[in-house]
Structure 1
Amino acid sequence: MRRRYWKGQGVQRRGVAVSALALALAGATGSASATDVFRLEGFGAVSRSMGGAATAFDTGPAGMMTNPATLSLMQTDNAFLLGVDLVTTDIDVRNQSSGESVSSSNHSANRGPYYAPQVAYSRRVGEWTFGVGAFAQGGLGTEFGRSSFLSKATGGLDTGLENSSRLLVLNIPLAASFRVSEALTVGAGIDATWQGMNLNLLLGADQVGSLIGGGRVSGSLLPVLGGLPDLRGAHFSLTRNSPVASGVGAWGYTPRVGMTYAFSEATRVGAAYTGRSHVSDMEGRATLTAVDGLAGQVPLQGRISIRDFQMPAVLNLGVSQRVNERLTLAADLSRVYWSSVMKDIKVGFSADGGGDLNILLPQNYKDQTILALGGAWQVDSRWTVRGGFRFAQQALPSSTLFAVIPAIPRKHLSAGFGYAVSANSSVDFAWSHAFQESMDNASLPNTSAPIRVSHAQDNATLAYTYRF
């Protein structure tokens, strides 16, 4: 994985990136269950196999998702990447009081294993390099079905109502990098960002009461719920069983800037800042079902809005070191500013027949520091092997854990390889294992029964890159 300064090359061809990008977007299915809370731990197979490090060295066209300035480090004038992410999860929830447990599995048409596209094209024009692509930034997915303890309302009442979740965040970056000198590159980009969410969530009467007592529920439907003779719970359902389309969704944008600086041919540092996303409120159709011990289930159809649900700003600092002709080491230190975007999940519901309900579900995420370490060993002219480790602070407080939002893994081990198919093309593979993390929550309002959630997963990435 030798690093060299770029010197102009004469080969130029017209790419087919636009049609390939459209094809990949049209074929995207499933959703990615992220492991740095809602964010995937690296973009592209090269970065993913090296623990997610990508700030200070060339990871190919996928580098524009972390540091757009790395596009200037390409050794050819054009590069096209096409790949796929595959995520398999192992999520279990245990009722600490009753001993009942449930595993997240494929009960529905749009849940795990989760997969999403990677496609990108970059082109050098003089001292400029431009890039466009489409990547899953992250998401989550759980499926607990309709018959577990999570579907029991207060008093042990079986509801047969589903508990599940799916979040998909898709970024379409447009980036540019400029080589200021042989040592310095700078870059910037802006992503079109789409978010889609499915959610089925049952709240027991004690959870609803805790939210009301904390001043977290308002609206004209509140007296209606309070007037039921034996309220046992409330269930929100905003789900579409579709590969991509979701119960609620919205578009917005995400800005990004970065730079790299080479102290020598062997040592390079980098810095990049991705701003918080600016996505509109996610809106769509939903059903609010009041569960009553005497009146039964009372469904209300209407429109729902998930308000101001944003991805956080991220600061990345990185260094890469070519130890010798075969070995390259890299490290990234990242700070993810969750506290500014994930204080509450803000839900607004308007019934078709009139009346509204506004709920603030507490989250209180903390800012997160992440260390990524990786290395690449060039075995011969065709084979490169890679490995890495990633360690993150816990962002989610245990007191606000939801069973359907288990965004808790913190430690990853990764490995992968690159194989040069020809002088112009290569195949890269990465595997990343998130070690099992467990968390307990016995606190209202986000759980009624005391629960323990355990979450582990494996991610795989396969990508083809053509350089010309």
Structure 2
Amino acid sequence: MMQKKLMTALACSALAVSSPAALATDVFQLEGIGAVSRAMGGTAVAHDVGAGGMLTNPANLSFGANDREVMLGLDLVTTDITVRNKANGESVDSDTHSKNRGPYLAPQLAYTQRLGNLTIGIGAFAQGGLGTEYGRSSFLSRATGGADTGLENSSRLLVLDIPLAASYKVSEALTIGGSVDALWQGLNLDLLLGADQVGSLLGSGRAKGSLVPVLAGLPALQGAHFSLTKNKLLGSGVDAWGIAGRLGLAYQLTPLTRLGASYNFRSRISDMEGDARLTAVDGVVGQIPLEGKIKIRDFQMPAKLIIGGSHRVTPQWMVTADVSRVFWKEVMKDVKVAFEANAGGNLNILLPQNYRDQTILALGTSYVLNPEWTLRAGARFASQALRSDTLFAVIPATPTKHLSFGFSYAVSPDSRIDFAFSHALREKMENGSLPNTSAPIEVRHSQNNATLNYTLTF
């Protein structure tokens, strides 16, 4: 029990927060692990990106220049999210209203060691997440009929990946690798559904349970609010542990060209569980809070296939390209919510999402100026996984285009600093459809991400 609490504390501290943020950029996943990959558009499958490569293609761990490496890093993610009510022009920004959200400060830690043809590695990385903070006084906190509820609308999903990876050099040309990963994810969520949204869920068979007739029997139901949040710097209302893994290979096609491929398996994470409050909002009776337990069932990270290549145009200049297919459709059909009231009664809701599978093209380049300085740049273009008619204001994981740059500086022959900056171009999406929104909304979302790594070799 103590070990589980320790690991959960590590998971929380790896994604601590303090003002507005949404950590993920490829839906719920970061667009590259480590500063080398991030600066080069997230490319990582066919060139050495350091210890962070164990989360993309572990086969590339064999290409490190030294027998042992320790990497320490930090991600900083900030966002600009605005939601506008298209019916009346009101808008609200995701901003700091509690201790619960960003910017995300996400530490990275990894160690690799070469043992002959075998290289092993272990690490702890922020894989992704999301976060919004709209407060208690915007139009998102108004129930049907215009009643100001004073109830919060916000979210925070955190995903921590702890891989144990290995890479083996089969021949001078072929390297293979794999990893087994422990995954932790935690969720905070405050969500108000208007009476029209509740009615839509009931009418489509997406809301069931013994509490349904109780809600339907209220004299003037105006909405229902779920709160599963720990309003603390570190903490999640519901969380769970699970496993995942990946396989990869790299092939040196010519002395100047390398090809790579990897497959990340779909996660197997337990249902996220914790305490929650369901508040019925009624125009006659007022607000009726019900304390209980809640589960977010089968919330998984998707499988991903990546193929790519790297080519040295000159001894100093390298170009890279990766193509990814991310299988969101399999794991994000519905958000499955199961609530059990302490006083008795249950409510099971399926919130539709219907994500599409996503295709991503990543491009990168690096240039060695001298033994101390290496410059990098990249771009990333993705298809849109979210559908406009199922968009939630609290889940605006919409950016699809990124530009990035960075550098490495060799502090000494045994240590270097890597830096990357990535900008997600502003994306706009609209939704005027029940049940995921009552008012027609327009969401605008852009994002900045800075990554700093320090690597010591010995």
Q: Quickly name the TM-score band, shorter chain normalised.
A: over 0.9
Q: Residue in 2 aligned with 1:129? A: 119
Partner of 1:377: 367
Partner of residue 40, structure 2: 50
Query: 1:338-353 counterparts in 2 under 5 A?
Result: 338-353=328-343
Residue of structure 1 aligned with 2:103, choices 107, 113, 116: 113
Q: 1-side partners of 2:275 and 2:423: how far apart?
A: 36
TM-score normalised by the chain length of structure 1: 0.94
- Report the CA distance between 1:325 and its aligned residue: 1.3
**3-state SS of 2:254 partner:** coil
Aligned equivalents of 1:74 and 1:325: distance in 2?
A: 17
Q: Which residue of 2 aligns with 1:9?
A: none
Structure 2 residue 410 is the aligned partner of structure 1 residue 424? no
- The match for 2:163 is 173
Q: Contact 2:12 / 2:234 at 8 angstroms: preserved in 1?
A: no
Aligned pair 1:357/2:329, yes or no?
no
- The alignment yields a C-alpha RMSD, in angstroms, of 1.3
Separation of aligned partners in 1, 2:22 and 2:334: 22
Rounded to whole Å, the distance in 1 between the matches of 2:23 and 2:166 is 29
2:77 to 79, 87, 97: 87
Q: 1:394 aligns with which of 384, 393, 400?
A: 384
1:79-98 residue CA offsets vs partner (Å, 9 max, x unmatched): 11000000001000000001
CA distance in 1, matches of 2:22, 2:221: 36
Residue of structure 2 equivalent to 1:159: 149
| C-alpha separation in 2, matches of 1:150 and 1:282 | 25
2:294 pairs with 1:314:
no
Answering whether residue 40 of structure 2 is matched by residue 34 of structure 1, we say no
Is 1:100–2:90 an aligned residue pair? yes
- Are residues 24 and 201 of structure 1, via their aligned partners in 2, closer, same or farther at CA, if it must alter by over 3 Å? closer
Question: Mean alpha-carbon deviation: is it higher for 401-410 or for 29-38?
Answer: 29-38
Query: Matches of 2:307 and 2:110 in 1, distance apart?
Result: 23
Aligned partners of 1:123, 1:25: CA distance in 2, in Å?
24
SS in structure 2 of the partner of residue 141 of structure 1 = strand
* Structure 2 equivalent of residue 243 of structure 1: 233
Question: Are residues 27 and 250 of structure 1, via their aligned partners in 2, closer, same or farther at CA, if it must alter by over 3 Å?
Answer: closer
The Cα shift of 1:376 comes to 0.4
Paired residue for 1:141? 131
Structure 1's consecutive aligned runs of 4 or more residues displaced over 3 angstroms after TM superposition are: 21-27
1:431-454 per-residue CA deviation (whole Å, 9 max, x = no partner) reads 000000000000000000000000
Tell me how far apart the structure 1 counterparts of residues 162 and 186 of structure 2 sit (CA, whole Å): 14
> Cα offset for 1:110?
2.0
CA displacement 1:134-186 (0-9 Å, x = unmatched): 11110000000000000000010000000000000000000011000011000
- 2:3 paired residue number: none
Q: Which residue of 1 aligns with 2:182?
A: 192
From 50, 62, 67, the equivalent of 2:52 is 62
Change (3 A) 1:452 1:442: same
- Contact persistence 2:22–2:132 (CA under 8 A): no
Structure 2 unaligned segments of length 5 or more: list them.
1-6
Q: Structure 2 matches for 1:189-228, cutoff 5 A?
A: 189-228=179-218
Does the CA-based 8 Å contact 1:32-1:86 persist in structure 2? Answer: no
**Corresponding letter in the other structure for 1:105:** D
Give, in angstroms, the shift of residue 245 of structure 1: 2.1
Query: Which amino acid in 1 is paired with 2:321?
Result: A
- Is 1:367–2:357 an aligned residue pair? yes
TM-fit CA distance, 1:263: 1.1
Identity between Structure 1 and Structure 2 (%)? 65
1:274 Cα deviation from its structure 2 partner: 0.3
Give distance in 2, aligned partners of 1:169 and 1:109.
Answer: 18
Contact 1:32 1:116 (8 Å CA) reproduced: no
Cα drift, residue 242 of structure 1: 2.7
Distance 1:100 1:26 in 2: 34
CA distance in 2, matches of 1:24, 1:293: 44
CA distance, structure 2, for counterparts of residue 401 and residue 153 of structure 1? 18
Structure 1 position 243, deviation (Å) = 3.1
Q: 1:187 to 1:400 in 2, by over 3 A?
A: same
Q: Indicate the larger mover: 374-383 or 31-40.
A: 31-40
Q: Which position in structure 1 is the counterpart of 2:4?
A: none
State the alpha-carbon separation in 2 of the partners of residues 342 and 149 from structure 1.
Answer: 27
SS of the equivalent of 1:208 reads helix
**Contact 1:161/1:202, CA 8 A, preserved across alignment:** yes
In the alignment, which of 302, 305, 316 is matched to residue 292 of structure 2? 302
| Maintained 8 Å contact 2:22/2:79 | no
Stretches of structure 1 lacking an aligned partner (at least 5 in a row): 1-20
- 1:453-464 aligned at under 5 Å gives the runs 453-464=443-454
